[in-house]
Amino acid sequence: MGDGTAASRRRATPPPFTSIVWPSSADDGRDIPAATLTELALDGVIEQVAPGRVSGDIAALFRRMPRAIETVTFRQGVLADLDSSADARAAVEDFAIAMREVRSALAPRVAPDFREAQHARFASAAIRYCAAVEAHRDALIVARPASDGLRSWQTYLREYTSGGAFAELRETARRVVDDVARVEYGVKIDGMTLTVLASLRGPTLGDQIERTFARFRDGDAEPVAIETEPASDTERLDQAIIERVARIHPRPFAALDAFVRRHSGFISDAVARFERDIRFYTEYLAFIRPLRAAGLEFCRPAVKARAGLRLRDSFDIAVADRLVDEGRPVVVNDMDLAGRERIAVVTGPNQGGKTTFARMVGQAHVLGALGLLVPGTSASIAMPDRVLTHFEREEDVADLRGKLEDDLRRAHEMMEGAGPSSVLIFNEVLTSTTLDDARDMGERILRRVIERGSRCVFVTFVDELSTLDPSIVSLVCGVEKDDATRRTFRVERRPAEGLAYAAALAERYGLTYDALAKGRRR
């Protein structure tokens, strides 16, 4: 059945190519709040995937979430092609390498070129460009991509390369380069004077040297590569010679000049856009490759319109990247919200993995909504219209508001923008107040979340909040059965029991009521 579906997709006419990441102009996306990316530790991931120093920075694509599920599905298809097909991956990677060579040839030189040298390099770059596009087109024919994205791109390439404008660019570039290469000239050296001649006259210096040393030849010698420094005096001399040759033989160089003026922007806008945006997929796959090699799994999530959440064997991608680099194990967790369930209240010991778990859930929604693979063996999420976070922050001494006021203000702002499709992550808020106040204000926040119908992860030290409403499920960071003071970093679905952990700690350090009373009697 799967093969038949893939075959029918190949036979179907793909949509016209617009973009490899934005298939419809009706969906231009929505910016992900900077605070969300920072608090979910995704800003560091983005910097690794798309460092700012890289030409054609694609980081902006990771900071803008699609509005439509169709855009997500479109991206998932492209990513599946590149992830599962070595031919498709090679077609894209080889094209990227070839285009980097084209752009390198077009880049300004360290030392200023003479115009003729610039134009010669420009025409040669145009030849490389045409060859790169045609080779990429042919490689995709071999790859036979299944996704709408790569198939529509394939159709564009076929039409583009068969058009008259492309053919004219390719043939004219070859002709002007060949005409310049066929120009003959001579150079006469007389002491410190160098004269450029219209043609070769008599034996050249190379001919004389070859005749002089011919009697010493003993078979063919291996060629020797000689490295020269860029922009050397010899290079400048060559450029000066070319300038004078152009004066003697103006016709081929005039044709070269006309070619440059006619084709000053020869790289197609669609090709340039594809060249940049395809890296959204390839760079992300490159980032997760070491994590996969370490045994961690990534999956394509089912992204649906209706509510619900299921994650299997998931993990915090930023933490995993660090732990794998350090050679340490990564703990995976599950997460479920089904039916009426909308809110997970997470409790448990300090440093038990609550924050990492909250980030994991938020990351899965952001990465899944971007159309990327998410950590885990399987996943299903409801398409979020926004992912909003509220993590505990250090108090800012320059801010005249107190920490509690700041917590409440941020919570209010989150509620103002939240709706039934929103995902809210609260992590250890209201820690600056008393238990009674934290319980009261935490309840008010959760009541607002329930009114809004948003999905929510609420990390707290207030156990009672986990039984506030039937839409709330209680999750607890686990501890070892034989030693309640040792954390497992596994999050379990069960009633909150924070006092049990506190009692175990008190017993370990001799701080139980009985131990303290015994100490006083002594």
Residue 332 lies in a domain: yes
Out of 237, 253, 279, pick the residue that ends a domain.
279
Q: How many residues does the chain have?
A: 522
Q: Are residues 274 and 316 in the same domain?
A: no
Q: Which residues pair with 188 in a beta bridge?
A: 195
Give the pLDDT band (50/70/90) at residue 204: low
Q: Are residues 344 and 270 in the same domain?
A: no
H-helix or E-strand spanning residue 242: helix 233-248
Q: Are residues 272 and 344 in the same domain?
A: no
pLDDT digits (tens, 9 = 90+) for 415-466: 888 999 999 999 987 776 777 888 898 899 999 999 999 999 999 888 899 9
Residue 212 lies in a domain: no
Residue 6 lies in a domain: no
Tokens of 181: 């290469």
Q: Please, which residues have CB within 8 angstroms of residue 280's CB and are 6 or more apart in sequence?
A: 20, 21, 58, 61, 62
Q: Are residues 127 and 175 in the same domain?
A: yes
Q: Which residues pair with 309 in a beta bridge?
A: 337, 381
Range of the domain at 362: 294-521
Q: Are residues 275 and 318 in the same domain?
A: no
Give the pLDDT band (50/70/90) at residue 307: confident
| Cα 21 from Cα 26, distance rounded (Å) | 13
* CA distances (Å), origin 390, targets 80, 193, 249, 358, 472: 33, 76, 71, 11, 19
Kindly report the three-state secondary structure assignment for every residue of 260-276.
HHHCCCCCCHHHHHHHH
Q: Are residues 171 and 89 in the same domain?
A: yes
Q: Are residues 300 and 275 in the same domain?
A: no
For residue 501, pLDDT beyond 50: no
Q: Which residues pair with 30 in a beta bridge?
A: 65
For residue 37, pLDDT beyond 90: yes
Residue 196 lies in a domain: no
Q: Are residues 459 and 367 in the same domain?
A: yes
Phi-psi region of 377 (alpha: psi -120 to 50; beta: other; left: phi over 0): alpha
Residue 96 lies in a domain: yes
User: Which of 402-405's residues contact partners 24+ apart within 8 Å by CB, and which partners?
Assistant: 402/432, 403/432, 404/430, 404/432, 404/433
Phi, psi of 339 (to 5 degrees): 60, -125
pLDDT digits (tens, 9 = 90+) for 107-121: 876 555 677 778 888
| Cα 115 from Cα 421, distance rounded (Å) | 59
Q: Are residues 270 and 395 in the same domain?
A: no
Interval 224-231 mean pLDDT: 44
The pLDDT value recorded for residue 143 is 97
DSSP assignment string, 317-384? HHHHHHHHHTT-----EEEEE-TT--EEEEE--TTSSHHHHHHHHHHHHHHHHTT--EESSEEEEEPP
Phi, psi of 377 (to 5 degrees): -85, -25
pLDDT digits (tens, 9 = 90+) for 358-411: 999 999 999 999 999 999 999 999 999 999 999 876 544 444 346 778 888 888
Interval 151-158 mean pLDDT: 96
Phi, psi of 320 (to 5 degrees): -60, -40
Residue 313, CB-side half-sphere exposure with 13 Å CA sphere: 8
Residue 8 lies in a domain: no
CB distance 248 to 185 below 8 Å: yes
| Cα 358 from Cα 344, distance rounded (Å) | 10
Residue 287 lies in a domain: no
Strands 343-347 and 193-197: unpaired
Phi-psi region of 453 (alpha: psi -120 to 50; beta: other; left: phi over 0): left
Q: Which residue has the higher pLDDT, 203 or 159?
A: 159
Q: How many domains does the chain have?
A: 2
User: Which residue is listed with tokens 């976070």?
Assistant: 389
3-state secondary structure of 108: coil
Out of 245, 279, 313, pick the residue that ends a domain.
279
Q: Are residues 403 and 302 in the same domain?
A: yes
| Cα 314 from Cα 298, distance rounded (Å) | 8
Percent of the chain predicted with pLDDT > 70: 77
pLDDT digits (tens, 9 = 90+) for 43-86: 999 999 988 655 557 899 999 999 999 999 999 999 999 999 99
Residue ranges of the alpha helices (H) in 162-226? 164-181, 205-213
The pLDDT value recorded for residue 284 is 97
Give the pLDDT band (50/70/90) at residue 192: low
Residue 369, CB-side half-sphere exposure with 13 Å CA sphere: 27
Residue 201 lies in a domain: no
For residue 223, pLDDT beyond 60: no
User: Which residue is listed with tokens 């799994």?
Assistant: 297
Percent of the chain predicted with pLDDT > 90: 56
Tokens of 354: 């609550």
Q: Are residues 462 and 436 in the same domain?
A: yes
CB atoms within 10 A of CB 225: 4
Report the chain's terminal Cα–Cα distance, integer Å.
79
Out of 227, 252, 279, pick the residue that ends a domain.
279
Which domain CATH number covers 512? 3.40.50.300
Q: Are residues 334 and 455 in the same domain?
A: yes
| Cα 282 from Cα 218, distance rounded (Å) | 52
